[in-house]
Chain A
Amino acid sequence: MTQLALVIDLNVCVGCHACVTSCKEWNTSGTAGFMSDYNPYDKDPTGTFFNRVQTFEIGEFPNTQTVHFPKSCLHCEEPPCVPVCPTGASYKREEDGIVLVDYDKCIGCKYCSWACPYGAREIDENQKVMKKCTLCVDRIYDETLPEAERKPACVLACPTSARLFGDVNDPDSIVSEQIRDNGGYQLMPEWGTKPANHYLPRRKANITIHKDELTRVDNPLNKERQLPMPGDDEQTLDDVMSW
């Protein structure tokens, strides 16, 4: 069974928020209605977003790491937000595992947002329905787009390729490969929600260098300097002779 998902590489995310703006731009322009904003250019701006980038500082100075953490709906394989919905507006698609909200059925009771431990759902204050990441369901199957562009807007926008998109249940997909090879993990595994989205951890590229490797024992210069330099008017044969 297909389970589409994102894999987010915290090792290369630079926190530029391109995924946030790209997501907002694509999804606010869709046929399902815009994502409302309030006071966008004023004090206390707020609005509906499917995707946010947060920043955390790990450790204490001077041993700190800054981690940029993109956060959107994780499209859980056991989504706790779906069974609590009284109307069936919240549902998980059989064919590709995307968790969606039917805006025409949602009564705006917010119960699903209480039932999501990740806080991935937001009520749209204008449309009064619950909204969340759709994995750009309106673009990934759009055959009028070139095949390379049939990906979520955030994935296409990421300048460092920190966001990967694919089927996590297909062992040969790029996302499965990355999860396997680079220690992909799920958020809050303690609640059994089985998030489909995975995160790749910060990875340090360490190599061991011994001291003697920093100086070449067979450095030809060492040999060369043992002999006096030839005079300016003398002939030199750099390529064949050693001084």
Chain B
Amino acid sequence: MHPAFSVIFLTTLIGVGQGLFLALYTGQLYSVIKVLPVQDSPGFYGYGSLLALVFLVAGLIASFFHLGHPERAWRSAAKWKTSWLSREVIVLPAFMGTTFIYAMIHISGWNPVLFALSADFIVDLSLLVGMINTVLAFSLFICTAMIYACIKFLQEWSTPLTVINYTLLGMASGFALSAAFAAFVESDLINFYGGWAIVLTAFAFITRSAALIRNSKIKYKSNLSSAIGIRHKNIKQKAQGSMGGSFNTREYFHGAKPALFKSIKWAFLVMVFVVPVLLLSVALASDMFGLFALAFIVQYVGLIAERWFFFAQANHPQNLYYQTI
């Protein structure tokens, strides 16, 4: 497939936003059950969530560049019963709205206690809203990834690993950003977030590698013989029906030379996994904000390459009809 940068930025940016929110809420939840210290400043979760919102809005804006008719985008909520894209269109604004509410509860300080599960476990409004938003965050990961995983003849995408990778990569980058955020405001959660960023990056490395290995061994169900229905091993295309190319030759081919295509794979493996883990390890030892920020930036740039490769690697069966240009 031809990777569209609008979709690359949409999926990576909202992944960071979702991951950052999940990191913040995990911090809050852990502090309620007294695993982690409570953050003195109520703004920690609040401003952190606003930062997550910035990424979500940026992703949403990027997505509009993908549309031929952005002014009709509201229509895309209609077919949620059948379309994962429609579901994403519903869940993304819901997640953004709830993230904003969560941020406002923390920043305003208006956070009434709702009920207490025990003397130690007091559920206030922000905890409940955060819990709802956590469900929305994971739903959004599923919706985004299922847009690709549900197309069964795009065999590189049609695997549960697609959903797992979108989730883990989004969370890894979000936790890396949360570590940088914690370092910036000099919170004592630096080690917690930095440590989990490394763990999530390691898990994502395992599942993304599994997807790469799986995709390198794919046996394609369609071939030229089934595409035109002629049983012969030796079929050569002589004309594709147009001289100067068509939508079919532009939309479904990435157009990169094999050397570039391969080098992007190695580039993202190094930039998403190896370098951030090394930088985060050094950063955890030194508590330097700059190193945490650098780890996040390197990982995010790596994720752009990762998403490019994700799209480029998918081999659409229609390409069988366009072998000779």
Contact call B230/A56, Cβ cutoff below 8 A: yes
**Least Cβ distance of B222 to chain A in Å?**
5
Given the interface pairs A49-B246, A114-B151, the reply to whether A201 lies near B230 with Cβ below 8 Å is yes
Compute how far the CA of A140 lies from the CA of B62 in the bound complex, rounded to whole angstroms. Answer: 42
Given the interface pairs A46-B245, A58-B232, A117-B318, the reply to whether A107 lies near B75 with Cβ below 8 Å is yes
Contact call B246/A114, Cβ cutoff below 8 A: no
Contact call A87/B78, Cβ cutoff below 8 A: yes
Given the interface pairs A84-B82, A87-B75, the reply to whether A52 lies near B240 with Cβ below 8 Å is yes
Given the interface pairs A105-B72, A190-B221, A201-B230, the reply to whether A84 lies near B85 with Cβ below 8 Å is yes
**Least Cβ distance of A217 to chain B in Å?**
42
Chain A positions within 8 Å of B239 at CB level? 53-55
**Least Cβ distance of A102 to chain B in Å?**
10
Determine the residue in chain B with the shortest Cβ distance to A109.
B67
Q: Is A194 an interface residue (CB 8 A)?
A: no
Contact call B79/A88, Cβ cutoff below 8 A: yes
Q: Interface code B160-185, partner A: CB below 8 Å = 1, 0 otherwise?
A: 00000000000000000000000000
**Least Cβ distance of A188 to chain B in Å?**
5
Q: Is A157 an interface residue (CB 8 A)?
A: no
Contact call B228/A67, Cβ cutoff below 8 A: yes
Q: Is A57 an interface residue (CB 8 A)?
A: yes
Q: Is B119 an interface residue (CB 8 A)?
A: no
Contact call B235/A56, Cβ cutoff below 8 A: yes
Contact call A107/B238, Cβ cutoff below 8 A: no
B214-258 interface with A by 8 A CB criterion: 221-222, 224, 226-230, 232, 234-248, 251-252
Compute how far the CA of A110 lies from the CA of B79 in the bound complex, rounded to whole angstroms. Answer: 16
Determine the residue in chain B with the shortest Cβ distance to A116.
B318
Determine the residue in chain A with the shortest Cβ distance to B82.
A83
Q: Is A128 an interface residue (CB 8 A)?
A: yes
How many residues of chain B get a CB closer than 8 Å to chain A's CBs?
A: 57
Determine the residue in chain A with the shortest Cβ distance to B224.
A56
Q: Is A4 an interface residue (CB 8 A)?
A: no
Chain A positions within 8 Å of B237 at CB level? 54-57
Across the interface, B242 reaches (CB within 8 A) one of A52, A66, A185, A201, namely A52
Determine the residue in chain A with the shortest Cβ distance to B228.
A69
A-B pairs, 6 with minimum CB distance: A108-B68, A119-B318, A128-B68, A52-B241, A86-B76, A83-B82
Determine the residue in chain B with the shortest Cβ distance to A60.
B234
Compute how far the CA of A59 lies from the CA of B78 in the bound complex, rounded to whole angstroms. Answer: 49
B113-141 interface with A by 8 A CB criterion: none
Across the interface, A54 reaches (CB within 8 A) one of B154, B240, B245, namely B240
Across the interface, B72 reaches (CB within 8 A) one of A43, A47, A87, namely A87
B60-93 interface with A by 8 A CB criterion: 66-70, 72-73, 75-79, 82-86, 89
Q: Is B5 an interface residue (CB 8 A)?
A: no
Q: Interface code A82-119, partner B: CB below 8 Å = 1, 0 otherwise?
A: 11111111000000000000000111111101111111
Q: Is A122 an interface residue (CB 8 A)?
A: yes
Contact call A188/B246, Cβ cutoff below 8 A: no
Q: Is A44 an interface residue (CB 8 A)?
A: yes
Compute how far the CA of A129 lies from the CA of B316 in the bound complex, rounded to whole angstroms. Answer: 21
Across the interface, B244 reaches (CB within 8 A) one of A46, A80, A88, A115, namely A46
